[in-house]
A = this chain, B = another copy of it.
């Protein structure tokens, strides 16, 4: 997705009007309109101001949505747990995932317990 559409998408997701961003940035409405419509290629310093006004990081304009969603949807403590899980050996991981799947309804809890008992 090009940056113009990305900015507009983020702005609308935040429920802001172009005018609000413009006054927060302190730039002219003409310029902002051209940026959001891809009529001009904004400079990095202009993009930084817009990102700040939208309450996002500059990286958010360039990351593809899927990866971004992954990054932002998990809180820090969950990420720590993921690191811990990642450090387990393969058998332990399988057991953990077996229990997770059981909770998620993808698998019988009994099977998960059989796996746990085998440890």
Residues of A within 8 A of B (CB): 3, 41-45, 57-59, 61-64, 67, 70-71, 73-74, 78-79, 81-88, 92, 95-97, 99-101, 103-104, 116, 119
Helix, strand, loop or mixed for chain A's interface? helix
Copies in the complex: 2
Whether B104 contacts A88 by the Cβ 8 Å rule is yes
A67 cross-chain contacts in B, Cβ below 8 A: 71
Whether A81 contacts B100 by the Cβ 8 Å rule is yes
Whether B78 contacts A82 by the Cβ 8 Å rule is yes
Whether A97 contacts B81 by the Cβ 8 Å rule is yes
A57 cross-chain contacts in B, Cβ below 8 A: 62, 64
Whether A103 contacts B96 by the Cβ 8 Å rule is yes
Whether B63 contacts A59 by the Cβ 8 Å rule is yes
Q: A96-B99, A104-B88 are in contact. Are A71 and B73 (CB under 8 A)?
A: no
Whether A44 contacts B45 by the Cβ 8 Å rule is no
Whether A78 contacts B85 by the Cβ 8 Å rule is yes
Whether A86 contacts B58 by the Cβ 8 Å rule is no
Identity of the chain B residue whose Cβ is nearest the Cβ of A75 in the assembled complex: B86
A61 to B62, CA, bound (A): 9
